[in-house]
Amino acid sequence: MTITNTTTADTVDGTRGTFDWTRPVLWLFAAGLIVLVLLPLCWLGVYSVTDRGGHATLRNFLVLFTNPDFLDPLLTTAIIATASAAICCLVAAPMGWLVSRTDMPGRQFIRALVTASFVTPPFLGAVAWELLAAPNSGLLNQLFRFLTGAASDEYLLNIYSMAGIVFVISCYTFPFVFVLVANALDRMPGELEDASAILGGGAWTTARRVTIPLALPALVAGSLIAFLQAMTLFGSPAILALPAGFHTMTTKIWSLFQYPPKLELAAAAAMPLLLVTILLLQAQKFILGRRGYSVVGGKYGAPRLVEMKRWRWAALAFCLVVLLNPVFLPYFALLNAAFSPNATTLVTPATATLRNIVFVFTELSATQLALKNTVILGTATATIGTLLALVIAYVTTRRVIAGSRLLGFLATAPVAIPGIVLGVGLFLSYTRPPFVLYGTLWILLIAFLTINLPSAYQQLQAAFLTIHPELEDASRILGATRLTSLLRITAPLLRTGLIATWCFIFIGVMRELSAAIVLFTSQTKVISVLIYDLNESGDLAAIAVLGIAMLVITFAVVLAINRIPMFGTNAGTRLRN
């Protein structure tokens, strides 16, 4: 017994008699997380109830809820978010069922196309639909006039309208509903539906009593995400609503930063978005928490596919028609604009040119800086975010320090903070001593890190649950500290999850515009902000080139993930989730 104790004390790392840095390091990460999340929210709250002289007041909220300049954007935002969520459910739920539970041909191809629409930034999709459906110059409207002989001032589609905005936002939010519903149906045991059929249940009865209840949590979660995405997006409304002459709440908040800035009103206007997001997330828990939807039992077989018979190809045609809007037509419009002398003119082999590409990468001075900033921020955010999520997930799953549940809450709390709201909070937090970060890449790094932390934390927390703590206990018996065990034992076992998290964050940085539009300066532009600036100047060809470059980088990262050994089969699912 004495020998055993001596061996345990004499560590292979030589840590006996040395200071254990584990708890100080973990507390340092915990403090960083607290500052990261709470500081901008505190300043947001303070500014919302003060006037320009620093005195407490509720006048900002009085203006917000009585002035038509703010009430109209609130109502418009509610209409757009509700309509988009409804359309997403009506389109994505049937597609998820067709892909997961039927013998429709090309199911994996449809999944891949949905992934393509998911990784396409919504603001880039809005620009593409400008090229397609602008009343005068849109390619589809030109085709309409050519085929029908209509007058030059007539048009079939007007993307600068409420319907146009709802349509574009729905194109790039329906993948959230699709992925959640399809994954839920993939995991649903086929024996349940077989048992219903054996007991005499028809197709509709089985769907109503078995399939729909089991898929309902995923559908509710998907509709909630679609609603929140539509409510908090900045890029698509800014590109399409402002030319139409109306605001949403995100564009209204952004306008309050124009000269002269009205920071108090911006803070107050951000609060409804934050409160609605929190209330909806709590409502989801309340609704789904009152009923049970889980499957109890052991291992089940794969679900039995429904035979579509003569409807197989009609189902495939339906899916392709849906994907025509977020993938085929927008990508065609971007490619056409990139190689055409005129972005709104159909390119031919005789008129194809590389002039736009040469201009963007050699003559447009902001391109090199934006690319550099984006790569630096993407790499730094992904690395720091993965490390932070790793440590916080370790603390919460292993209960290493006091308050681990609070840290878990803080790590997921940013999911309830819309990007534009976070941007306002960070602007208010880091434009004064002691942390004057505005005008540097640091403030964008903090924004991107906060926005992407919840998904990174959730992925790694789920990965930690698959690794038994006995492996770490064995390392500690041999004398290693918790920190050493985490770095040398657990982290290597989480290799695939860490890589997935890193790549997910990198792609998130490439797509982010809502927070960046509030925080950038002339020296800290990223690609998304540069694309928005070019849209304001009407340089659609340059936007097309930059958009294609962004998509190439994004898809290259996705393909790199799928080529990692022992990871390719789950990469697409991890990214879509």
The enclosing domain of 91 has a CATH number of 1.10.3720.10
Q: What is the pLDDT of residue 338?
A: 94
pLDDT of residue 123: 93
From the list 185, 169, 42, 48, the residue with the least C-alpha distance to 117 is: 169
Task: Kindly report the backbone phi and psi dihedral angles of residue 492, in degrees, each rounded to the nearest multiple of 5, phi listed first.
Answer: -60, -35
Out of 291-305, 344-358, 456-470, 524-538, least confident range: 291-305
Q: What share of the chain is helix, strand, coil (3-state, %, to 5)?
A: 75, 0, 25
Residue type, 321: V
Backbone φ, ψ for residue 258 (5° rounding): -75, 160
pLDDT at residue 116, as a whole number? 84
Alpha helices in 430-494 (DSSP H): 441-464, 470-477, 482-485, 491-493
pLDDT score for 170: 95
Whether residue 282 sits in one domain with residue 137: yes
Q: Is the pLDDT of residue 577 over 60?
A: no
The pLDDT score that the predictor gives to residue 279 is: 84
CA atoms within 13 A on the CB side of 563: 6
DSSP state of 211: I
- Other CB atoms within 10 A of residue 366 CB: 17
Regarding whether 413 and 554 lie in a shared domain, the answer is yes
Domain tally, the chain: 2
- Asked whether residue 337 is assigned to any structural domain, the reply reads no
C-beta atoms surrounding 59 within 10 Å: 14
| Ranges 120-124, 390-394, 439-443: which has the least confidence | 390-394
- 17 is a domain residue: no
pLDDT tens-place string over residues 223-258: 888 898 899 999 999 999 999 999 999 999 999 988
pTM for this one? 0.83
How far apart, in Å, do the first and last CA atoms of the chain sit? 50
Answer yes or no: is 348 within a domain: no
Report the length, in residues, of the chain.
577
Residue 40 belongs to a domain = no
Please report which confidence band the pLDDT of residue 179 belongs to, taking 50, 70 and 90 as the band edges.
confident
The Cα 438–Cα 521 span in angstroms is: 8
Higher pLDDT, 504 or 358: 358
More reliable by pLDDT, 292 or 336 = 336
pLDDT category of residue 216 using cuts at 50, 70 and 90 = confident
Which position has the higher pLDDT, 300 or 4?
Answer: 300
Provide the mean pLDDT of the chain. Answer: 82
How far apart are alpha carbons 29 and 442 in whole angstroms?
17
Range of the domain at 533: 363-577
List the single range of 38-47, 138-147, 338-347, 551-560 with lowest mean pLDDT: 551-560
Residues 391 and 281 in one domain: no
369 and 286 in a common domain: no
What's residue 569's pLDDT? 37
Residue 407: band (very low, low, confident or very high) from pLDDT cuts 50, 70, 90: confident
Is residue 9 one of the residues assigned to a domain?
no
Residue 426: pLDDT band with limits 50, 70, 90 = very high
Q: Do 285 and 398 fall within a single domain?
A: no
Which own/partner contact pairs does 486-493 have at CB distance under 8 Å and 24+ positions apart?
486/390, 486/391, 486/394, 490/394, 490/464, 491/390, 493/467
Tokens of 175: 């993948």
Q: Which of 256, 282, 316 is the last residue of a domain?
A: 316
Q: Are residues 267 and 416 in the same domain?
A: no
